[in-house]
Each structure stands twice: as C-alpha cells, then as structure tokens.
Chain A
Amino acid sequence: MAQRTIVTPGDKLPGDVEAKEPYVVEINGVKVATTIGLLDTSGEKPVYIPLQSIYVPKKGDVVIGLVQSVGVVNWTLDINSPYNGVLPASDFLGRPYNPATDDLSQYLQVGDYVKVKIVAFDRTRNPLLTVQDKGLGKIVDGKILEVQPSKIPRIIGKKRSMLEMLKKETGCEIFVAVNGRIHVKCPDEDRETILILAIKMIERQAHTTGLTARVQEYIEELKKVKGVE
C-alpha cells in the first residue's frame, strides 16, 4: 500500500487527515483535496501537504518584500501573495514623519528588498508591515531567490536538518522566509551557484524521500567539480 501518493483536486481523503483549509475542504461530509498535493499515510495520522500553494499572510510572519511603489506616507510591497503589503513611513523611520521634508524614495526605492514582519492582516484590508524588530530592514547584500511557498518547509527540513546541512556544506548565510523568498549571502560566487542549484533540486523533488542525503551528495559533487573545498 503506497504510503505517499500524489492527489489532485477532487480526490477524496481519509476522514482523519491532518490538513489546512483551503487545501482540504469537506463536501457532503467527505474530506476532499483542493490542490495538487502529497498524501502521506506513513505516520500516525494521514497528512496532506499541498505541492502548489498560495501564500496568504498571517500576523507574525517574517517575510521578504519587494518594493513595488513609493507613496506619500508609505511603501507598497509585493510579498509574493495575492495581497500587497503596506509599510508605513512612520514605522520605517521610527519617528513621526513629515511629508514636506522627507522624500520616501531616499530610504526605499522600487526594486529594493526588505525584510518585514506582518503586524496585522484581516480580510478587509491589506497586510500591515513593520521593520521595527530584530533583523528586519532593507536588504543590502547577497541574493534573493524565489521558490514556491509550499516548498519552504522542505527547504528547512525536519528539525531544520536540511537548512543546517545547506549552511554547513556551502558556508553561506541563509534566511528562509515563509513567503517563498530566500536571502543568501555566500563567501564566493561558486558557493552561491552551488547553493542555488541545491535549492532548485529541493524545489523539484520536495515530495520525495531521502532528499536531504541526496542533496548533500549533490553539493559534494558540485564542490569537487568547481574545485571548492
């Protein structure tokens, strides 16, 4: 009996399946998958993990936003979600803000990446963002990668095993945001390339088993090829 099966929208799932709405809904008393996903029956309870997902912001999430437009009193950020986030000028500047003397584009411009936290989000207005917390703010170095938000858990791995392995093997600093964006800072270009290739491999094979070991092997091979120790 297959323990991990791919299911598609409309497929029926076991009644005690662990899953989040809207990826699973109940129709006429039966639980039904609504996206392409993985049904894992190997554990105590069956678990359904969507393979394709849409990031819906939650209060407290730390995400990487991309400045889309500079307003008069705030910036609008693309947070890889159906909803754009709003970062108020007063929050970023940490002080009362004067539109007459402050030009917001001096601080953040279109195309800048910013690490932010979701302060508030309800279904009647756009997510409200803040940079007033440790480690948040404009991203000035390194590279930003974008992956499917549903693959993020796999990139972190069980008990952070995958993420720690990636950091150790490549020597890069890696910050994984729940909205599918990853900030990497590597000692050199070769290691950066190796890390990007490894992450792409995880994204493609996120639904398979034994992945951490295979990715580690792959990295070691690439290091040999590139002459990196």
Chain B
Amino acid sequence: MGKAVGVKLIDEYGRRHDGRLPDQMRPVRMRINVLENADGSALVEYGRTRILAAVYGPREPVQKFMALPDRALLRVRYHMAPFSTEERKSPAPSRREIELSKVIREAFEDIILVKYFPRTAIDIFLEVLQADGGTRTAAVTAASLALANAGIPMKALVAGVAVGKIEGQLVLDVDEIEDGSGEADMPVAYAPDIEKITLFQLNGVLTREELEKGLNMALSAIRELVELEKRTLKEEYVSTEEV
C-alpha cells in the first residue's frame, strides 16, 4: 500500500481527504443476480472498491476425497484481478490472498447451514475488480448476498467494514490512502441478527479504549449494511409485485 505524501488525512474541520466525516461510510452499492451461470451472485461497491461474488452449489466436488461425510465443505477464493490495484498485481495467488481466503471462509463456516448438504461443496468465488481499501470486508458483504441469492440456507446475513485510525482519530471504512498512512486498520465482519462477530483482525496499534470504540463503530455501520442487503434481496421480488 502506497503512502500518501503531502495529503492531509484529516483537516481542522474533521473532514477526511475525500470530504467524509470520521464515522461516514463511502457510498455503498449492492446488486444481486449479476451473473448468469452462477447459482448466486452479487456485486458490491464501497466507494471505488468493487467486488464480484459468485456462489456455486451445493454440488458434488470433483475430487471426492475432499468431501466431508456429514456436512458441505466450503471453498472460498479471494482473488485480486491484475488490474485492480495501482500497480499491476500478478495473477498468481499471493500470501495475502491465501490468508484472506482463509479468514473469509471462516467468517461463513458457522453461518451457512452446512449440515443439510453432506458430501457436497459450496463454492464462493470473490474477485476484487477494483481495490481501494476494505476489500476483504466488502468481499464478505458480497459473499453473504451471493449465498442468499443462491438459496443456500444461512443463520443470518453478514456484512463487513474496516475501521481505521488516522492521525490519532478513529475513522470508518478506510480507503487505500488512509490505510497506507494510518496507524491502525481493523476489519470486522458481523451478523447482526445473531449478534456474532465472524471475522476480526487488527493491523496496527490501538489502546483498549480505542479498540472498544472502534468495534462499536464497526458494528453500528454493519447493522445498516445488513439492512441494505435485505432491501437488495427483497427488491428482486417487490418490483414484480402487483399493486
């Protein structure tokens, strides 16, 4: 991540480099049913960060040895398109993509009702089409929508957002410039209906008080994100409702 030179991240009015207030998210867009072949799909944007999610399954895995006898196995691939970043990223999976694929899969292991589909695989493919900070959390939101779109039973919907600390202040939904020059970056994924945190990381330094305050900020924003997910899912049906 590049460091911003000469850009003041927070001005004297408390506005961030893009004019946002500290507890303000970037504009969020959510769409489902964006792909024909996938069983479920979604496109999620947090400002310029754009994630495409596709879900296939439950289906029998080609390699039978990986199937689990009593539940569906989850396969998650978080991948960044080569053109998604400032400098072209090699298409080969990086260590970062491998780690993020793992934490994102773990964000859904306890959410999807895997016990109903033994010996099958549920595939979640996440492509970062454009990266501007907060990609893993936007990816979690996209995955949640795509899973619901595929009709895969879940205990609850999940959404994610990253809280950062820049120039000593906690800010919501960090973009790349803020992430690169900030003192902390804390991605969180949460399912408000069951009040469970399913992804949680911190990169940077926070005091105990900042941790709690930042976490609350994230959970509050996620509640709104999940409300938007629900509206997006319902819209599919409401638009064809006869008056």
* Direct contact between the two chains A and B in their complex (CB within 8 A): yes
The residues of A with any CB-CB pair to B shorter than 8 Å are 6, 8-12, 21-23, 25, 27, 32, 34-36, 50-54, 56, 82-84, 123-124, 148, 150, 204-205, 207-210, 214
Interface size class of B (residues with CB under 8 A): 35 or more
Describe A's contact surface by its main secondary structure. loop
**Interchain CA distance A36-B154 in the complex, whole Å:** 10
Say yes or no: A10 contacts B157, CB within 8 Å. yes
**Interchain CA distance A36-B231 in the complex, whole Å:** 11
Contacts of A53 in B (CB 8 A): 151
Please report the number of residue pairs spanning A and B whose Cβ atoms sit closer than 8 angstroms: 98
A-B contact pairs, 9 of them (CB 8 A): A34-B113, A35-B154, A50-B151, A53-B151, A83-B120, A123-B119, A150-B151, A208-B240, A214-B242
Say yes or no: A54 contacts B58, CB within 8 Å. yes
Say yes or no: A82 contacts B58, CB within 8 Å. yes
Write the chain A residue with the least CB distance to B71: A123
Contacts of A209 in B (CB 8 A): 242
Say yes or no: A205 contacts B242, CB within 8 Å. yes
**Interchain CA distance A12-B69 in the complex, whole Å:** 31
**Interchain CA distance A148-B58 in the complex, whole Å:** 15
Write the chain B residue with the least CB distance to A201: B240
Contacts of A10 in B (CB 8 A): 154-157, 191-194, 226
**Interchain CA distance A124-B242 in the complex, whole Å:** 44
Contacts of B153 in A (CB 8 A): 9, 22-23, 25, 34-35
**Interchain CA distance A51-B153 in the complex, whole Å:** 12
Contact of A22 with B113 at beta-carbon distance under 8 Å, contacts A10-B156, A83-B120 already known:
yes
Write the chain A residue with the least CB distance to B59: A82
Say yes or no: A54 contacts B151, CB within 8 Å. yes
Say yes or no: A9 contacts B154, CB within 8 Å. yes
Is B134 in the interface zone, CB < 8 Å from A? no
Contacts of A123 in B (CB 8 A): 70, 118-119
Is B131 in the interface zone, CB < 8 Å from A? no
Interface residues of B in 69-121 (CB under 8 A from A): 69-70, 72, 113, 116-120
- Contacts A11-B193, A34-B155 known; 6 new A-B pairs at CB < 8 A: A8-B148, A11-B230, A32-B193, A36-B234, A52-B148, A150-B151
Is B150 in the interface zone, CB < 8 Å from A? yes
Contacts of A56 in B (CB 8 A): 116-117
Write the chain B residue with the least CB distance to A76: B60
